[in-house]
Amino acid sequence: MSSVESLQKKIPLNNQIGLIGLLLCAFSSPLIMPLNIIAISEKFISATNGQIGLIATFETLFISISSITLSRFVNKLNRKKIFFVASLFVMAGNFLTIFAPELNYVILSRMISGLGSGAIVATVVATIARGSNGQMTFALLNSGVGVMGILLPFLLPIIIASNGMEGAYSLHFLISLFTFLFLYLIKLEDGENDEINSMESYKGFTGWIAMFGTSLVFLAHAGIFSFSAKIGAGLGISVTQIGYIFMSGGVLTIFGPLVAGFVGQRFGSLAPCLLLIIVLLVTGVIIPNVTSPIIFYIAVPICGMIPMIMTPFYLGAMAKLDPTGGLAAAHPAFSTMGGAAGPVVMGYVSDWQGFTGIGWVVLITILMGIPLISIALMEADKK
């Protein structure tokens, strides 16, 4: 056992449940962005794809800003106070969206919510990365995302059909109220892991280079996935059917990260991550060019689940490079940075070249990101 591993403490069950539940409740809106886009576009029918994509971009941009800021200071702040204040921001943003009369007010409301979501995700990830059972906890977290990936696609199409955008964000507001319940379960003692707090922060370069590669991969994924519902609608697939497709992806996401957690502990991160990125590349090119509903039914769930399965491998590697958790805490910022650019880039590309143009953007960005990510994963696998 290395000296760093001997300083890490096991995350207790109550903290695992609390941290995972808190993040999921704060992140319900970003998790199901394609259906949110459908709800918003049905309310503002004159808006272009680029304008609708701008809403998703601003929300994820502010998630990124908040999480990158917190990642630099999270070890010096009271984490439970961060969780409490950030939860209030998420609730406020969801509540204001319900009553937003025009697109600009929707954007402002999603920016407020994004600040809270970003603070929560950065602090949760940093806390998990410091635990001796961090990689498996990340796997459990992403399996929780799979559960949400079943519940939200089941509920939202029904709610959107009857109550539109207002109903969709009423559900997100209701879910965000449960952050206080999970916050109560989290017990973080002052001075916990003092030895790790005293360690020098990460000074390497490969981890940060990998973060930029992650941004490119998530740009491709967020861009194609945000408009997958509209692509399906163009094939004659109803919103309810698209919800069922997302649900099937949620089922896969429950078990995929758990398998990833076990595999990553035994076989490292590089090979599994590269395999998953290649699968993302293939499905990301297929979806915008698809002409058969059957192919759409197959490709979308696979494409949707890839980041959730890849994350335990990736964050496990980042925790090896930086045991203080700071590097892992920055991951949400860079992934959402790419996620922020994805919807607006793909929105304007689709306005210009149609959905087929999105496939070329997916191809180029992922091929650029692969070597940047691989360097850090190779270094981490040697530790």
Report pLDDT for 1: 46
With CA atoms as reference, report the closest residue to 26 among 102, 104, 82, 107: 82
Q: Are 25 and 179 in contact (CB under 8 A)?
A: yes
* Cβ neighbours of residue 190 closer than 8 Å, sequence gap 6 or more: none
3-state SS assignment for residue 56? helix
- Report, as ranges of residue numbers, the positions in the chain whose pLDDT lies below 70: 1-8, 189-203, 256-267
Alpha-carbon torsion (167, 169, 175, 178), positive or negative = negative
CA of 367: how far to CAs of 169, 274, 309, in Å? 36, 11, 19
Q: Please give the Cα distance from 274 to 157 (Å, whole number).
A: 34
**CATH class in words for 12-189+207-381:** mainly alpha
Helices (H), the chain: 3-7, 13-26, 28-31, 33-43, 49-73, 79-98, 103-129, 134-177, 179-185, 194-197, 206-226, 228-234, 239-267, 270-286, 293-321, 326-353, 356-381
What are the strands, taking DSSP E only, across 71-185? none
Locate 337 and state its tokens: 């940075």
Residues shown for the chain: 383
Backbone phi, then psi, for 131, in 5-degree steps? Answer: -90, 150
Report pLDDT for 271: 82
3-state SS assignment for residue 9? strand
What are the strands, taking DSSP E only, across the chain? none
Domain segments of the chain as ranges = 12-189+207-381
Does pTM top 0.85 for this prediction? no
